[in-house]
Structure 1
Amino acid sequence: MSVNSKIVLAVDIGTTSTKTLAVDREGNIHGSHSIGYPLHTPSPGYAEQDPVVIYEAVLDGVAHVMKQGAWTADDIVCVTFSSANHSLILLDAEGRPLTPSITWADQRSALQAERLLNDGTGLPIYSRTGTPIHPMSPLVKLIWMREERPDLFHSAHLFVGIKEYILNRLFGIMVMDHSIASATGLFNLETLTWDREALLLAGIREDQLPRLVPTTERINGLKKEAADRMGLSKETTFIAGAQDGVLANLGIGAVDDGVLAVTIGTSSAVRTAVNRPTIDPEGRLFCYALTQDVWIVGGPSNNGAIVAQWISDRLYPGQSMEEIVPLAAASPAGSNGLLFLPLLSGERAPFWDAQAKGVMFGLTLSHTETDMLRAALEGVLFQIAAIVSLMKQSGEKHKEVRASGGFARSTLWCQMMADMLGVPVRVPLSVESSGLGAAQLGLYAMEGCKGSLLRWKETEGKLYEPDETKHKMYQRLLPLYLSLYDRLKEPMHEISKLQHAPERIL
């Protein structure tokens, strides 16, 4: 690193794309590039990606941004990572993938998750690891793999996630940061080590997992071929980084008491910062690491913009989602008495039920397309409101929401969120929350982790104040909305059997 170095490269490895940002020391973005890739769903329950394609996206994204800004290696303070959670890749002894990257959205281990919840095994594991028992969890995926694909399971040399695979390709080392580890269901929050009981349950050994490192760990020794591809030096310092969710909180300044971060991208999540590991007695909220002194508590929902895209495609085929969403303003708050449970791909928080299904409730001949559209958007926000309610039960208070993700560009959706939650919603000028958080963490690491986490001067952005009348209506509707799931859970599970294996009920 040169004394004149001025740019941090933040690489955000997401579910649908990898985005690379060039960020200066004041938090200004000077360049960005996004490379998309497919999510493969060849059969019900599958959600996989090609790790080699994602690795190539990392190399090409960095190279593009370097050329875009005409940067040289001496301009780069460091390269730092944000990454999606819960992926699992089995590697052979040479570090080659034996499986695709099995993503958080994969549902094949639903039966194993249900068994852990029902036999009393799951809650003690959660209480030590902070990862709710669900098919998203690598712990549950490993149990599924051992039981259903023993050939692959027993031939594997290492079990890693997508970021660990990429770091190994770049440096020839196998490390996992505490933040990603804290979302595996295998990591003990108190000892910051792999949890012995969880490893026994998964059927793996500690030496089959990456070495654990802090999120601020500096990594050097970049392979020459990778350095050349990206336009960097072999001496360029990389920072291990963290998961995208906790970095989103940092990136939008939601690390203060009473400030919630809500991210709605393909899926959605609600998060708040605490100063030590905190768990929900019933195992409904996650607790993930940012640094040793900052932990993020919250809940993820499977349902976000994917729901808006689904209903837009069916009601308004051929039009873009950006054109469609504003049409929901023609329907009043409450969608004229129409409720939509947007559980199209099962659900994580607040229900943690992989077999949950979507429901349109209250439909009459008088309802219109815009009522159905608004009900779908409100359904996503009802899920968020339910997670916020869980966090209140755990003692977390909120006075403001910081919004990020693609939905934050929608004036209608942000105003609906303020009305739903009854608190102001602030949208920072930049919604690149995870990438900016990664850049902040990178600078903090390069400066020796001294003092508190780096805080850039906050940009106010747009503020949405709640409409009290609409908030009261949503408060009346929320208990009814939640009761629908409780009453329909059993038939949802029955119809799931028909959808996945019709012969079971014939």
Structure 2
Amino acid sequence: MHHARVAAPAAPARPSFLSPRRRATPSRRRAVASSSSSVFSRDADDDDDDPSRRVLAIDVGTSALKASLLSPSGRTLASSSTPYATGTTRPRAHPGAVEQDPDEWVDAFARTARDVLADDDDSGVVVAGVALSGQMQNVVFAKGGRAIRPALLYSDVRATAEAAAIEDALGGADAISRVLHNHKGAAGCLSKWIWAAKRERRVVEAADAILLGAHSYLAHVLTRGDASACDATTASTTGMLAPLNGDRDGRDGSRPRWATDVLGAFDGVDPRKLPALIAGRTPAAVGAIDDAVADALELPKALRGARVFHGVGDLASTTIGATGWDLGDGGAREYLYLGTSGWIARTCAAQDDDANSSSSSADGVFELLHPDPRLRIVASSMVTAGGAAEWARAAFLGSSRTGNNSLADLDALAASAPPGSGGVLFLPHLAGERSPFTDANARGGFVNLSMKSDAAAMARAVLEGVAYNYRSLSIALGSEGEGRGGERRGRGGALPVVGGGARSALWTRTLADVLNRPVRPVADATEIAARGAAAGVFVACGSWGSDGEPPRGYFPVDDDASDLSDDDGVVYPDAENAEAHARNHEVFAKLHAAIKTSGVDALAN
């Protein structure tokens, strides 16, 4: 099909990093508790570490950019985070649209870098490297080293018509899986690219690079447009890779490649603009921070000329940080991430049955490439996890009273309601859903409200509804557990919980009861992704010696992790609560399909 050319929308205002700038308002410095505002912390006990061996780990998240300065031992010497906005200029014109200004990621990087390295600016020592990680499955159109329109985020599902057209053109869902890996409908990057080509043709044609991760754009900018790259994990979320099975040889794992023949058949899609693929356990140094960019961003001296490492996407960096490099004695490692979005992920061997069958046997289950080509990540993810809690906090409580700990207020309200929320159920699909079903038009809702239902019951129902969806993810992955008596089928004993939501005692207790499985909130849960992102850079820089093995304690796991006692932070399920939640989940699991038949999708949302 061919489409008439349309006038390009106005490009965003010239970004501050390419024009004279005023120094950003300094971040408030205080103990780290949340990424909801700019925060800062420093550990003075690490002043004896060699500054030249330190790594600045960057996580370009959905709601904020976080920077952490790490020593080779894994200690966080300093950290800072800066939030940015999410939205779209025309939400009613494009239902399902979710966008961010990529240059706000750059400004947030500059601000957090100045905070984190403020005390090191006089040392004259450049950090070993900058490790970049961030949100995946985005589409950024760039020209001359900068974005020329807002980024279409992973949660953007406006391209429903384009997704349907792709399915028709390729012969249906089963046929698609034979030519494209992990195509996920309207959320897929190909659908978004075609959407833009139809409606913003001049923007798409003007772009000289298509970037698919927030961290990829940051690498592009810091190297003044020289780096146009995509890590294998991020690439495997886009729906634009060729199927992996044909590249397995049992020795080298998978050699990812773009499905250029398939992609190039769609009008407006030029595969030559796709980024270079980076694969391997050690991240690639894609360049060094350009002096002109450093001047424009007013970066500290410790970053001038520093090597830029294009790391893996956020799910992979979190996976590595939570489970380490190796599989352990059980042959697989599993964890739960509770952030703005959420997922349960498992690392397994590339030849494992999980890696070979899960992505095709269950709707909403992803098989993703691991940085180590011998491994795979099998994951099932939801769009809004902590995001649902933040929505509930704002809806029921208004502005946060405790600043950083925005969950604390919601916890206090929810804790005053009994487990089960008086029968109130909450569907957490506030922005579509990826797992355990894929539906761009799915929406949230409360079910079974009565005159007795109050704000406390609804608040608790939100936490429980997210937990119920995690149970559905667990079922999709085939990792359902049975409790404390040794009969559980889960892998590796207690399930590690990481991400900002792990700080909520009520939520982790609820997860244990709903999953009917011991869970273990990980200490420094919000630093897990930073450790994972930095790990490969420490290897590349030789900070871990010739064998590249991490120091003991760098990763919060070891092979005897299943031998856990009551006093090590493990939260065990309550048998009575678990039984009640199991009944509730049976109803919860049927609600989406039942509500969808009502025609609610036709309503404006």
Same fold (TM over 0.5): yes
Q: Distance in 2 between the 1:219 and 1:157 partners?
A: 18
Q: Structure 1 vs Structure 2: percent identity of aligned residues?
A: 23
Taking the TM superposition and a 5 Å limit, the aligned residue runs for 1:236-315 are: 236-253=306-323, 256=327, 257-276=331-350, 277-278=355-356, 279-291=359-371, 292-315=373-396
**Letter paired with 1:24:** S
Q: Distance in 2 between the 1:330 and 1:233 partners?
A: 49
Contact 1:27 1:456 in 2 (8 A): no
Flag the 1:490–1:244 CA change in 2: closer, same or farther, 3 A.
same
Flag the 1:444–1:10 CA change in 2: closer, same or farther, 3 A.
same
Deviation of the 1:397 alpha carbon: 4.6
Bigger helix share? 1
Flag the 1:374–1:251 CA change in 2: closer, same or farther, 3 A.
same
Instruction: Give the match for residue 497 of structure 1.
Output: 602
Deviation of the 1:116 alpha carbon: 4.3
Q: Distance in 1 between the 2:294 and 2:398 partners?
A: 45
Deviation larger for 153-162 or 431-440: 153-162
* Aligned-residue RMSD, C-alpha: 2.8
Instruction: Give the match for residue 199 of structure 2.
Output: 148
Instruction: Give the match for residue 156 of structure 2.
Output: 106
**Letter paired with 2:447:** F
Deviation of the 1:235 alpha carbon: 4.4
Contact 2:215 2:313 in 1 (8 A): no
Establish whether residue 421 from structure 1 lines up as the match of residue 528 from structure 2: no
Q: Distance in 2 between the 1:220 and 1:150 partners?
A: 31
Instruction: Give the match for residue 500 of structure 2.
Output: 406
Q: Distance in 2 between the 1:342 and 1:221 partners?
A: 42
Instruction: Give the match for residue 130 of structure 2.
Output: 79
Instruction: Give the match for residue 437 of structure 1.
Output: 532
Contact 1:66 1:72 in 2 (8 A): no
Q: Distance in 1 between the 2:321 and 2:445 partners?
A: 35
Provide the secondary structure at the position in 2 that maps to 1:433. helix
Flag the 1:83–1:317 CA change in 2: closer, same or farther, 3 A.
closer
Provide the secondary structure at the position in 2 that maps to 1:273. strand
**Letter paired with 2:575:** E
What is the CA deviation profile of residues 277-335 of structure 1, one whole-angstrom value per residue up to 9, with x for unaligned ones? Answer: 54233442112223122321112211212212222333333554421223222222222
**Letter paired with 1:208:** K
What is the CA deviation profile of residues 150-173 of structure 1, one whole-angstrom value per residue up to 9, with x for unaligned ones? Answer: 333333332113323222222222
Deviation of the 1:126 alpha carbon: 4.2
Instruction: Give the match for residue 327 of structure 1.
Output: 413
What is the CA deviation profile of residues 387-444 of structure 1, one whole-angstrom value per residue up to 9, with x for unaligned ones? Answer: 1100008999533311111111100000110111122111221112211111112212
Instruction: Give the match for residue 504 of structure 1.
Output: none
What is the count of residue pairs matched by the alignment? 496
Establish whether residue 338 from structure 1 lines up as the match of residue 338 from structure 2: no
Deviation larger for 98-107 or 160-169: 160-169
Provide the secondary structure at the position in 2 that maps to 1:160. strand
Instruction: Give the match for residue 26 of structure 1.
Output: 73
Contact 1:123 1:283 in 2 (8 A): no
Instruction: Give the match for residue 184 of structure 2.
Output: 133
What is the CA deviation profile of residues 166-225 of structure 1, one whole-angstrom value per residue up to 9, with x for unaligned ones? Answer: 222222222222122222111233331111344235543332111112261123343113
Q: Distance in 1 between the 2:266 and 2:345 partners?
A: 28
Deviation larger for 96-105 or 275-284: 275-284
Contact 1:60 1:230 in 2 (8 A): no
Establish whether residue 464 from structure 1 lines up as the match of residue 464 from structure 2: no
Flag the 1:147–1:455 CA change in 2: closer, same or farther, 3 A.
farther
Taking the TM superposition and a 5 Å limit, the aligned residue runs for 1:209-228 are: 209-214=274-279, 216-227=283-294
Provide the secondary structure at the position in 2 that maps to 1:499. coil
From 219, 223, 226, the equivalent of 1:167 is: 219
Establish whether residue 199 from structure 1 lines up as the match of residue 259 from structure 2: no
Contact 1:31 1:68 in 2 (8 A): no
From 580, 589, 595, the equivalent of 1:482 is: 589
Contact 1:110 1:134 in 2 (8 A): yes
Provide the secondary structure at the position in 2 that maps to 1:87. strand
Q: Distance in 2 between the 1:233 and 1:382 partners?
A: 44
**Letter paired with 1:170:** L
What is the CA deviation profile of residues 367-400 of structure 1, one whole-angstrom value per residue up to 9, with x for unaligned ones? Answer: 2222111111111111111011000089995333
Deviation of the 1:140 alpha carbon: 1.6
Taking the TM superposition and a 5 Å limit, the aligned residue runs for 1:352-367 are: 352-367=438-453
Q: Distance in 2 between the 1:182 and 1:71 partners?
A: 42
Q: Distance in 2 between the 1:464 and 1:102 partners?
A: 38
Provide the secondary structure at the position in 1 that maps to 2:369. strand
**Letter paired with 1:324:** L
Flag the 1:80–1:128 CA change in 2: closer, same or farther, 3 A.
farther
TM-score, normalising length from structure 1? 0.90
Taking the TM superposition and a 5 Å limit, the aligned residue runs for 1:365-380 are: 365-380=451-466
Deviation of the 1:479 alpha carbon: 2.0
Flag the 1:397–1:62 CA change in 2: closer, same or farther, 3 A.
same
TM-score, normalising length from structure 2? 0.76
Contact 2:188 2:239 in 1 (8 A): yes
Deviation of the 1:103 alpha carbon: 0.9
Deviation of the 1:459 alpha carbon: 4.9
Q: Distance in 2 between the 1:453 and 1:338 partners?
A: 49
